[in-house]
Structure 1
Amino acid sequence: MAVGTALSAVMMTAASAETRITYKSAKTGSSYYQMGVELAEAVKRGTDGDVIMTIEESQGSVQNVMEVRARGGDYVFTTPPSLATAAAAATGPFADKGHENFSEIRALFPIPSLTMHFVMSAETGATKLADIEGTSVLLGKGSFGATEGEKYIDLFGLAGKVEIADAELSNAVAALKNGQIDGFVTAGSWPAPNVIEAAASTPVTVLSMSEEEIAKTGRTAMTIPAGTYAGQSADIHTTSLPVMAFTTTAMDEDTAYLLTKTFWESKAEMAGVAPWWDGVNVDMLNQDGIAFHPGAVRYYDEQGIALPAAN
């Protein structure tokens, strides 16, 4: 009996040593879902299997935040920092939907930003936003890129001067190659798979924005290095929406520390497989109004990495 009891105790200790995390990001098949898969593999390798991350499909960033209301300390999710702060303030999509757990949201680390790409056929000669006047452009529907693209067309006096193609973004590369459209707008991590495909199949130019234009959008500046896409000989200056991995104060400090440490120590290896991780750097930590989990703060303090003043 004593031997059996001791064996049971050992088995319970071994089982409790494994920490299981749910990671909720985006729809299956999207680049952000794939990032989650890559991150889960990195976490398993980097912790020798002590932390197992299960990827859960999501319908979008707002849903990810809303689920904080019912989730516990094993929940990690991705969202733009602006949505995390909106939830805590019960504004925007969270107006009249406030919950005490929203004030407990804490950041861990950044992931690749949603980066705007204005992709134009080289035949148009377009090199800047003003040059898309008189062209046909596919924006898609319902995505951040579509909404942001429409915003820029209005913001820079191009409304009514650009033909907006009525089609899904999934058809953009084929439509561009066949001459049905002159260009398309997409937002995603760089290098973006659909932009890679477009550049490989037909000569394209990804438009750059001036410093003044970027400032006018109110978004974060992003530079896509030369050579990222076929035929791209110079850096592309555009805008982006930061995205971060969050949890809540319900997660214990040691787990948050281990996740943050493993992410940064695995980033170079992940970038060797998927270059979009190259776009992540410590400068992305400086998001106004974002509080970091104490476990993450411990890691950044150890590394001498400065965080926003609120931390």
Structure 2
Amino acid sequence: MIGAFAVGAMLAVPAAAETRVTYKSAKAGTSYYQMGVQIAEAMKAGSGGDIIVTVEEGQGSVQNVMEVRARGGDYVFTTPPVLVGLAQGGKAMFEGKGDPAFDEIRALFPIPSLTMHFVMSADSGATGLADLEGKTILLGKGSFGATEGEKYLKLFGLEGKVNIADAELSNAVAALKNGQIDGFVTAGSWPAPNVVEAAASAGVTVLSLNDEQIAETKRTRLVIPAGTYAGQDQDITTTSLPVVAYTTTKMEDETAYQLTKTFWESKAAMAESAAWWGGVDAAMMGNITGKLHPGAVRYYQEAGVALTADQM
């Protein structure tokens, strides 16, 4: 299922045919935008040029879902499965904005999850969340990691007991090295570039959460293997928010099939140039809580990947 790049044209159509797809993910400059670029390159190479993906800058996962209402069968977008469920139920940020188009959203394949990192300087002596008390932490502003970090401080009785640094997350590594902060919170794919830099240049401890804490967050458990970051000799157990590539029933089955097949057959090669793809495997299919596109279902059945009744 997860092999090297496919060789030659893969679409069951004449060589002159070309399928064009728009892939909408995140803001330019983010790791998720870069993933989109990598997927586009992999699709072109893996399909022998028959699948051409145009990467479009996104303004956030909610907006990606909202655009389903006006898009056609060439639209692929990324968002957490939980937002698809909220859109289809007309709840939370989708209240009063329901649309029949949301019911036609279908999943293709998982991409790296948004993974929480509580990064503490070695000098801080912190080994668990309780050790954040009295420390100066940089959360950043406006990001999923910042919002989630604030939520955890409240959840675990640390609100008002932690000094929150007034700075942007982009300054986190420099501030940590200079001793201005004891740690920072960040969320993204792993290995996270800012955590790699901090571990290599400053020496850090990335905190683990226990199973009881993870259950309280109501997020998905994720293990970052030992050796991912410099000085990390044990697995890190943390929380994550799954992210999935979606389309709608407007997409032709054959196109969805080829996109899904080419993704998995290209994943190993993508992981050679970007380590975050190494954490994506068939087990992550369990994070997809809604229906898969029929074309994707065809691929998974051929590949022997077990699907749930709700995904069919």
Give the TM-score, by structure 2 length.
0.94
Partner of 1:259: 259
| Post-superposition offset of 1:14 | 6.8
Partner of 2:199: 199
Q: C-alpha distance in 1, partners of 2:282/2:91? A: 28
Q: C-alpha distance in 2, partners of 1:281/1:220? A: 15
Amino acid at match of 1:234: Q
| Post-superposition offset of 1:259 | 0.4
| Post-superposition offset of 1:144 | 0.6
Per-residue deviation, residues 67-88 of structure 1 (Å, max 9, x unmatched): 0010000000000000011111
- Please list every run of 5 or more consecutive structure 1 residues that lacks an aligned counterpart in the other structure: 1-12
Residue pair 1:76, 1:245 contacting (<8 A) in 2 also: yes
Q: C-alpha distance in 1, partners of 2:289/2:264? A: 22
- Please list every run of 5 or more consecutive structure 2 residues that lacks an aligned counterpart in the other structure: 1-12
Partner of 1:168: 168
Amino acid at match of 2:271: A
Partner of 2:246: 246
Q: C-alpha distance in 2, partners of 1:289/1:44? A: 29
Amino acid at match of 1:291: K
Residue pair 1:288, 1:308 contacting (<8 A) in 2 also: no
User: RMSD of the alignment, in Å?
Assistant: 1.2
Does residue 44 of the first structure (1) align with residue 52 of the second (2)? no
Residue pair 2:86, 2:94 contacting (<8 A) in 1 also: yes
Q: C-alpha distance in 1, partners of 2:184/2:287? A: 29
Partner of 1:5: none
| Post-superposition offset of 1:15 | 8.8
Largest Rg, 1 or 2? 1
Give the TM-score, by structure 1 length.
0.94
Q: C-alpha distance in 2, partners of 1:92/1:265? A: 37
Provide the secondary structure at the position in 2 that maps to 1:290. Answer: coil
Residue pair 2:244, 2:288 contacting (<8 A) in 1 also: no
Partner of 2:7: none
Between the two structures, name the one with larger relative contact order (CA 8 Å, sep ≥ 6): 2
Residue pair 1:290, 1:308 contacting (<8 A) in 2 also: no
Q: C-alpha distance in 2, partners of 1:227/1:32? A: 23
Q: C-alpha distance in 1, partners of 2:289/2:276? A: 26
Residue pair 1:285, 1:308 contacting (<8 A) in 2 also: no
Partner of 1:97: 97
Q: C-alpha distance in 2, partners of 1:91/1:308? A: 24
Between the two proteins, the alignment pairs up a number of residues equal to 299
Per-residue deviation, residues 130-170 of structure 1 (Å, max 9, x unmatched): 11111000001111100110111111111111101111111
Q: C-alpha distance in 1, partners of 2:136/2:182? A: 5
Provide the secondary structure at the position in 2 that maps to 1:286. Answer: helix
Q: C-alpha distance in 2, partners of 1:15/1:147? A: 48
Provide the secondary structure at the position in 1 that maps to 2:71. Answer: coil
Partner of 1:208: 208
Partner of 2:135: 135
Q: C-alpha distance in 1, partners of 2:270/2:84? A: 26
Structure 1 segments (4+ residues) deviating >3 Å: 13-16
